[in-house]
Amino acid sequence: MATTFLFLLLSAIFIAKSQQGQSIVNPGSFLTPTTTTTTNSSWPSPSGRYAFGFYKQGNGNAVGVFFAGIPEKTVVWTANRDDPPVPAAVTLNFTSDGRLVLQSAQGTTKSVAVFGETASSASMLDTGNFVVYNSDNQSIWESFQNPTDTLLPTQQLFYDVVLDSSVSESNQSTGRFRAIMQQDGFIALYPIGTPYYIEYGYWSKGIQGPRLNATLNLDVDGRLYLANGEGIVTISAGGNSTKSSLYRLRMDDDGFLRLYSYNTNQNGDWDVTWSADSIGKCDPKGLCGINAFCVIYDEQYNCTCLPGFAFVDESKRTLGCERNLTVDNCKEGTYEMEEEINTVWENDTYSLPLFSSNIEDCKIACLQDCNCEAALFKDGACRKQRLPMRFGRRQSDSSVALIKYYISCFAFIVLAISGFVIYRSHVSKHQNVSNMGKFVDEDVGPRSFTYAELEKMTNGFKDELGRGAFGVVYKGMIGNGQKIVAVQRLEKLLADREREFQTEMKVIGKTHHRNLIRLLGYCHDGPNRLLVYEYMCNGSLADILFTPKNNLLGMKEGELRAILQEEFFISMKSPDQSQTSTNIRGTRGYVAPEWHRRNCPVTVKVDVYSFGIVLLEIIFCLRSVDSNLPEEEAILEEWVYSCYECGESDKLINDEEVHKRQFERMVKVAF
């Protein structure tokens, strides 16, 4: 008798323990979208933190799991997420035969979840997991095992299980991006609908050592990590595990995987505590849909159509673009090719690449091919493509996108671009602290300009003054046309040198010397990098030296100005970029040899080297690099040094009458 009593007591304790944190739902229970005195719209967890049931979506309702204990009912799981919202005249029934179905007013039903066997009960747990049980109280279905876009604490993401982003915060339908736990032990991000190949992924994180059976885990304290029983890789260290702290990991609609936290004591907003690192705002592939590319303005991503295309839906620009004019026969119309520099998309060429050093050949090849809608020109290779074009984005390299457009729609393109520029200029007026009508304050460091301001100052970059080692220089006006400036558009600076770029701008701007051009301002708007200098009305040192019949004698003070800043930017150029594209070996221009051997900082020695090159140019009235000369004479510094080393300094003088001793002394000073 005592044994039987002890058994019953232990059984009662076990049952009570197993049901702790549960709210049992039995067959025959039902929900309606509206709570009344006789009906409920959801089944809450014991603490009331989570609930399973109806929530508002669009003009109707949807069924899912959401945070019920906070003001903002954040959805974490959705049933039949791609179905349209259901009307108010529906009922969610847990039927007597163990099915969970939506029943319309007309009597038609649709399953909310499909179970492998008959269900006897269900429960909304305090973990956020909605669980269905059989008659033996064993789990036969869980929302944790069928996630949509969110991972909750204690939930695991197993091999081949995915988190698919939603369309938006208010629309839980399947979006465009996916996080998947791969067999190789990596959690990786892809556009939905693409193979799980490395060229389609844009972020991943993997476990070290043996990678099989790895899972992505989120603890109650916000710690996010990968584990497989043999190793752990922490992704986010976590923080607070108190009852007032809530966490959720979500695959967001913009392609980012983010970890959020919420403090129930403050009832504020969800805060981002971690996001997938090393992702730029335009990196998620397919962010702007087909036939479009992504650009950054004011630290936000914007979608732009390719020339000759228009948005499918102007109010939903991420849906992509389509031709704004259809021509049945490409032979009947006249086409042109529009260039988009530093623009790339998915390499989906339909023919072997054509190799040519001339971009014009690439244009002609596409214009003569009716199958060619666009081409990508990079490193001398021309790759022709058909529509649609996917995963378009700006990229800091030599890529040039060529898009074919019908000539009759050119006016529309100009109008659209003009409208966009006017809009950007209008926005910039409200964002700039300084007034365009005022002069740049020359007693302080350089000011920051927006790209739209410089475009306006230079009248659309029309008046070209010259071309330097790092880009084209244009004439501009500030102060209501009262002050002339020179605007240089830098090309191919490394994208990851943003902070160094700004720091060096401030240093250069505060450098005052009568033989150095004054830097008045700069632009670091999105991918654009430009410099604003004071205008040299009398030209540069190079203009004086290399113009026939000019020399340094008799020049008035103020007429001789030298630009030495350009060598400042060598450190921020792409490693494979140089001013001269010939096969001449050795150094180029004014750049010290150290730059070509290792990534040295700007030092006094480097400046002295550049000064020496300028002296050699003054002495010989020759350019530091001139590919028109014989190869042994093409690089001035090497040629002069070689002549002195071989005792052939007479070669440098030719038949000119010079004071040889003074001449040699001047050359030694240069070296």
Domain chopping of the chain, boundaries: 16-145, 150-275, 292-420, 440-564, 578-671
Upstream peptide bond of 46 is cis (omega within 30 degrees of 0) = no
pLDDT at 563 over 70: no
Overall average pLDDT of the 64-81 stretch:
92
pLDDT at 663 over 90: no
| pLDDT given at position 505 | 65
Structure tokens of 421?
A: 């520029």
| Distance between CA atoms of residues 52 and 38, nearest Å | 18
**Do the beta carbons of residue 624 and residue 613 sit within 8 Å?**
yes
Overall average pLDDT of the 257-278 stretch:
88
Q: In the 8-state DSSP scheme, what is residue 137?
A: S
Q: Is 230 helix (H, G, I), strand (E, B) or coil?
A: coil
pLDDT at 434 over 50: no
| pTM for this model (two decimals) | 0.54
| pLDDT given at position 553 | 45
Q: Is 252 helix (H, G, I), strand (E, B) or coil?
A: coil
CATH superfamily of 578-671: Transferase(Phosphotransferase) domain 1 (1.10.510.10)
Q: In the 8-state DSSP scheme, what is residue 558?
A: T
Write out pLDDT tens, residues 179-232.
999 988 899 999 998 888 888 899 999 886 666 789 999 999 999 999 987 788
The residues with which 289 forms a beta bridge, in sequence order, are none
Average model confidence (pLDDT) across the chain: 76
**Do the beta carbons of residue 529 and residue 501 sit within 8 Å?**
yes
pLDDT at 366 over 80: yes
- With bands split at pLDDT 50, 70 and 90, how would you rate the model's confidence at 433? very low
Overall average pLDDT of the 73-84 stretch:
94
Residue type (1 letter), 668: K
Alpha-helix runs per DSSP H in 538-580: 541-545
**Do the beta carbons of residue 120 and residue 133 sit within 8 Å?**
yes
The CATH class given to the 150-275 domain equals mainly beta
Residue type (1 letter), 361: D
Overall average pLDDT of the 302-323 stretch:
86
CATH superfamily of 440-564: Phosphorylase Kinase; domain 1 (3.30.200.20)
| pLDDT given at position 546 | 59
Look at 235-249, 398-412, 635-649 and tell me which has the smallest mean pLDDT.
398-412
Residue type (1 letter), 359: I
Q: What is the DSSP string of 14-82?
A: HHHHHTTT--EE-TT-EE-SS--SS--SEEE-TTSSEEEEEEEETTEEEEEEEE-SSSS--EEEETTTT
**Do the beta carbons of residue 488 and residue 458 sit within 8 Å?**
no
| pLDDT given at position 635 | 83
| pLDDT given at position 516 | 67
| pLDDT given at position 3 | 42
**Do the beta carbons of residue 523 and residue 489 sit within 8 Å?**
no
- With bands split at pLDDT 50, 70 and 90, how would you rate the model's confidence at 138? very high
Overall average pLDDT of the 541-562 stretch:
49
Overall average pLDDT of the 560-564 stretch:
41
pLDDT at 9 over 50: no
| Distance between CA atoms of residues 498 and 524, nearest Å | 8
| Distance between CA atoms of residues 338 and 293, nearest Å | 14
H or E element at residue 418: helix 410-431
Look at 42-46, 98-102, 599-603 and tell me which has the smallest mean pLDDT.
599-603
Same CATH topology for 16-145 and 150-275: the answer is: yes
CATH 2.90.10.10 fits 16-145, yes or no: yes
Residue type (1 letter), 571: S
More confident residue, 152 or 660: 152
- With bands split at pLDDT 50, 70 and 90, how would you rate the model's confidence at 300? confident
| Distance between CA atoms of residues 471 and 579, nearest Å | 10
Tell the residue number behind the tokens 């949807």, with chain if given.
62
**Do the beta carbons of residue 289 and residue 305 sit within 8 Å?**
no
More confident residue, 76 or 597: 76
More confident residue, 336 or 53: 53
Overall average pLDDT of the 512-524 stretch:
72
Write out pLDDT tens, residues 153-165.
999 999 999 999 9
Share of the chain residues as helix, strand and coil, in percent rounded to the nearest 5: 20, 30, 50
Give the angle 550-556-559 at the CA atoms, nearest 5°.
70
pLDDT at 578 over 60: no
| Distance between CA atoms of residues 272 and 261, nearest Å | 6
**Residue 604, Cβ density class (10 Å: 0-12 exposed, 13-18 middle, ≥19 buried):** exposed
Give the angle 634-610-561 at the CA atoms, nearest 5°.
100
pLDDT at 480 over 70: no
**Do the beta carbons of residue 274 and residue 235 sit within 8 Å?**
yes
- With bands split at pLDDT 50, 70 and 90, how would you rate the model's confidence at 274? very high
Task: Provide the CATH topology of domain 292-420.
Answer: Hepatocyte Growth Factor (3.50.4)
| pLDDT given at position 594 | 61
| pLDDT given at position 544 | 60
Pairing status of strand 257-263 against strand 156-157: unpaired
Residue type (1 letter), 324: N
| pLDDT given at position 132 | 97
CA-based nearest residue to 58, from 32, 90, 92, 84: 84
